[in-house]
Structure 1
């Protein structure tokens, strides 16, 4: 089970990275199109007018997908901002149970956000909601990706909570320890 969860978190992180790369490619293509048009005008040629319609919307939806898909993987890597002042001030057992409670609360919030996002995606699907741009994008697609990312984040938080409750060290704490010790 541990290996499956770790692979799932890693796959979502890779998808997030690919999504960011896709944003970069789309923006680069748009820039190249503008440069070609400027060069054509400088040479007294008609510009090609090479643009990517709805680029801002594509970029926004891809960015949103990347952020939400990356939540679980960045948690596992210990890259989320955490305030540990109280946990560090407590002795071992109370600190562990406070961490369990924090993970439980965070998982509950992530679960609620995933549920709300899923309801919104289902509404968008039912009513055929699309974006307002030149290219109408079904809103259920980015909302579905956001829901998947939130659901995976909820799973990662529940995983960390269960690991802590069993007396283990969750991946995010192990990663933070490695960073602090310089390993």
Structure 2
């Protein structure tokens, strides 16, 4: 039951990340279509409509950062993060598992620091009503809160993987990596 709940949490992060990327695409499409419509209106001698999204690059940046942070956990479990595997592939399975455990513990420490720091920053933005610098004033705690959410999910995934190693199981990212290698070896 907990495994299913955790897998759904990681999948939800992926879905939210995908929605953020879709939102970026829609915003850019609206901006481009607005320019096309304005040029067409000018070409036929009419006044341009003036469809423009104020601070598009800023909103796009916030959405992109949200997508990156929300996808961290699912990407970890799918072995999508860049890792140097030359060492781990050249050692016996027991040592490979120990190295994975050590790296996961170190990642948990770094993830804890990142989560704490980002959480403090989001809290400060909320407390002091900090807004973005662009033309459209946007509360900074919102994108920072999404970063915190992504880091919470990522931290849970790191803990999940570390506990799997401690229980003597193969972590999901190593299983996914082995599956990928099996598929590429067969081609």
Superposition TM-score, scaled by structure 1 size: 0.97
2:137 matched to 1:140?
no
Distance 2:17 2:113 in 1: 22
What residue in structure 2 maps to residue 18 of structure 1? Answer: 19
2:48 match: 47
Is the contact made by 2:115 and 2:148 (CA closer than 8 Å) also made in structure 1? yes
Q: Deviations over 1:62-89 (max 9, x none)?
A: 0000000000011111111111122222
Q: Return the alpha-carbon distance in structure 1 between the equivalents of residues 11 and 108 of structure 2.
A: 19
> Cα RMSD between the aligned structures?
1.1
* Conservation of the 8 A alpha-carbon contact between 1:72 and 1:153: yes
> What is the aligned length?
183
Q: Distance in 2 between matches of 1:167 and 1:149?
A: 27
1:121-156 Cα offsets, whole Å, 9 max, x none, are: 000001000001121110000001001111211111
TM-score (norm 2): 0.95
Q: Which runs of 4+ in 1 moved over 3 A?
A: none
Structure 1 residue 111, shift from structure 2 partner:
1.3
Alignment of 1:157-168 (within 5 A): 157-168=158-169
Match in the other structure for 1:70: 71
Provide structure 2 residue ranges, at least 5 long, that are not aligned to the other structure: none
Q: Secondary structure in 2 aligned to 1:53?
A: coil
Deviations 1:31-63 (A, max 9, x none): 000000000111111101110111111100000
Question: Which blocks of at least 5 consecutive residues in structure 1 are unaligned?
Answer: none
